[in-house]
């Protein structure tokens, strides 16, 4: 038998979440379209699996890697494909043109490469403006040079303006996104507004909390996979469904007395006679090693908690109040019935990291 662990991927839930994201966007902007953000192997869910699930409903797909974009085209995807970090060298432009890709341009050097391409490569461009996140994007001081490049380069087939919000998931009563919207408006006043270029501003958090930012294209990411972008709202309350469920089984049960310890370092000390379940899942499977004892887990359909440190291939949980649970009982580490956001919060991280960390050795079953 194979080791009793698997990740179940619910493609119907993925479709539901995408359609919900687009529904939120079109309530405010009826013509808005939604990129399905499938970077990082579709947040660990499988690029081609996600594409197969969304291929007949998604307006477009957004990712980072040029090879993955080519793989989508070869898999039959005909919708627009957006490279979120654009291209990295001159040779990339021929591949982008051959496969009809849309490229983000976030620095002057990329604009200059567009002008140098021989023969000229006429590509749709997303012009990314740095409105305050200070990660990628053209600054206000660079805009005169940007305008000169655009005026002298025949290569952009179409231009869309974009930016990325740093605090859309924060308290709407504090800084939120207003300061970035103000900067974006100042940067685009006149020249860009006059051109009437489409805009793409909203990530998952903004789609849900700031519908006025929907505009022409939104970019849902974590919400596609059933994760909440907010610390103060759970995914189910937002209407999102879990796509990945990490499942395992109990390998063994230990009965320990008061004062006995569990796991490396003996960080758990029994305060009562304790039934310890040993689960076939560890940090080599993608479960966070830094998840402390007390992290929620479901065994035989009931909630309990982990005990002690996570090992490479195993972790321990408390079965003391679950007399019906024993060897071979089913376990849910996160997903259906236990939100990944809750597990991530207990581990001091975010569900994005849990999904992306799923190890190759974990079998995947499509539901």
| Rounded CA separation 224/43 (Å) | 9
pLDDT for residue 51 is more than 70: yes
Greater confidence (195 vs 319) lies with 319
| Contact criterion met (CB below 8 Å) for 319 and 275 | yes
pLDDT, residue 156, reads 79
pLDDT digits (tens, 9 = 90+) for 103-120: 999 999 999 999 888 788
pLDDT, residue 174, reads 62
Instruction: Note the CATH number of domain 11-227.
Output: 3.20.20.10
pLDDT, residue 172, reads 61
Residue 213's H or E segment, with its range, is: none
pLDDT digits (tens, 9 = 90+) for 166-219: 999 987 666 789 999 999 999 999 888 888 999 999 999 999 999 999 999 999
pLDDT digits (tens, 9 = 90+) for 250-291: 999 999 999 999 999 999 999 999 999 999 999 999 999 999
| Contact criterion met (CB below 8 Å) for 16 and 200 | no
Rounded alpha-carbon distances, angstroms, from residue 9 to 60, 204, 317: 21, 20, 24
**CA neighbours closer than 13 Å in the CB half-sphere of residue 13:** 22
Q: Return the active site residues.
A: 39, 264
pLDDT band at 15 (very low <50, low <70, confident <90, very high): very high
| Rounded CA separation 46/366 (Å) | 10
- CATH class name, domain 244-366: mainly beta
All structural domains of the chain with their residue ranges: 11-227, 244-366
């Amino acid at each position: 038998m194979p080791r009793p662990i698997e990740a179940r991927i619910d493609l119907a839930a993925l479709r539901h979440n995408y359609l919900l994201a687009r529904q939120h966007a079109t309530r405010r902007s009826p013509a808005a379209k939604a990129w399905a953000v499938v970077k990082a192997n579709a947040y660990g869910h499988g690029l081609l699996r996600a594409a197969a699930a969304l291929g007949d409903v998604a307006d477009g797909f957004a990712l980072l890697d040029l090879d993955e974009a080519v793989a989508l085209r070869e898999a039959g995807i005909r919708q627009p494909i957006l490279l979120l970090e654009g291209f990295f060298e001159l040779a990339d432009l021929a591949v982008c043109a051959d496969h009809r890709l849309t490229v983000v341009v976030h620095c002057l050097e990329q604009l200059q490469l567009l002008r140098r391409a021989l023969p000229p490569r006429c590509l749709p461009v997303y012009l990314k403006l740095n409105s305050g996140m200070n990660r990628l994007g053209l600054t206000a001081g660079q805009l005169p040079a940007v305008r000169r490049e655009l005026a002298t380069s025949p290569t952009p087939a179409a231009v869309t303006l974009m930016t990325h919000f740093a605090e859309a998931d924060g308290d709407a009563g504090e800084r939120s996104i207003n300061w970035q919207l103000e900067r974006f408006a100042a940067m685009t006043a006149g020249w860009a507004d006059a051109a009437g270029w489409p805009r793409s501003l909203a990530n998952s958090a903004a789609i849900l909390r700031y519908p006025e930012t929907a505009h022409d294209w939104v970019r849902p990411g974590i919400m596609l996979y059933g994760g909440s972008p907010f610390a103060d709202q759970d995914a189910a309350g937002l209407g999102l469904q879990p796509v990945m469920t990490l499942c395992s089984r109990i390998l063994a049960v230990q009965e320990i007395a008061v004062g006995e310890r569990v796991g490396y370092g003996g960080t758990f000390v029994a305060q009562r006679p304790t039934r310890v379940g040993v689960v076939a899942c560890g940090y080599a499977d993608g479960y966070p090693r830094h998840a402390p004892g007390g992290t929620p887990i479901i065994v035989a359909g009931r909630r309990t908690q982990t005990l002690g440190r996570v090992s490479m291939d195993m972790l321990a949980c408390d079965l003391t109040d679950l007399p019906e649970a024993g060897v071979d009982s089913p376990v849910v580490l996160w997903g259906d019935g236990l939100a990944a956001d809750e597990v991530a919060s207990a581990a001091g991280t975010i569900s994005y990291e849990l999904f992306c960390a799923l190890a190759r050795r974990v079998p995947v079953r499509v539901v």
